[in-house]
Amino acid sequence: MRSSRIHRIDRPPAVVGYSLVLGLAFVAVLMGFTAVRARDGRMPVTDWLDPLIAGVTLLAVLGALAALVVVWGHLPTRLRAAAAAVLIGAEWTYVAGEVVSNTITVGEPPADLGSLLEFAAGGAVVVCSVVIAVAVARGARRQHRAASVAVTVAATVLACGTAWWFTHPIDQSGPGTPACVPGNAVYNTLHGTAC
């Protein structure tokens, strides 16, 4: 009897699973709606990416919630509760932002309140995911030091690469590989060119 009590304690509350499954229903609706021709004539997927992007973004939020379920037993009790609250709150804030942004406050931030809700939800998910990862890494380092170091190094290098990519975009609107990219020293050096 004692072991089943401990096992129950290491499981997340039912509301976490409920929110995760209900969120998947929203993802299915958004992805399904992606294939519908827009009323203004825009073609599905190629011209009308809003529902697709919303569905994929919500799926990423749900991925963070699913990750929390997986690592639940490895987190301190207070962090579990806080992370669940933040991720569930972010999930429904994101959905509310999408609804508001596409029905009431259509436009660009800061006038578009819906977009601001979406940004806030995304920021909360990123911060919460990093906090969870750091907490899990502490325990993982003690058990599997080499693997933990490898994952940490890969994540750090790729985070730096992603930051570089976002701050030094390459115009990929034309066919083929650009000869050089103004302001992107890494690309130019690796391709042996200068602009």
Provide the residue-wise pLDDT of the chain in tens; the chain has 195 residues: 444 444 455 889 999 999 999 999 999 988 887 777 767 776 665 556 778 889 999 999 999 999 999 999 989 989 999 999 999 999 999 999 998 887 887 777 778 898 899 999 999 999 999 999 989 888 766 667 787 788 788 888 988 888 888 888 787 777 777 888 888 888 889 888 888
Task: Calculate helix-pair angle for 14-34, 50-71, nearest 10 degrees.
Answer: 160
**Domain boundaries, position 194:** 145-195
User: What Cα–Cα distance (Å) separates residue 6 from each residue in 2, 9, 11, 12, 118?
Assistant: 6, 5, 9, 12, 37
The reported pTM is: 0.74
Q: What residue has token string 């806080």?
A: 82
Q: Do 134 and 97 belong together in one domain?
A: yes
Q: Are 150 and 139 members of one domain?
A: no
Contact 103, 50 (CB under 8 A): no
Note whether 54 and 115 are same-domain residues.
yes
Same structural domain, 110 and 163: no
* Residue 110: other Cβ atoms inside 10 A: 8
Same domain as 162, residue 132 = no
Number of C-beta neighbours around residue 156 at 10 A: 10
Domain count, the chain: 2
Q: Write down the pLDDT at residue 187.
A: 85
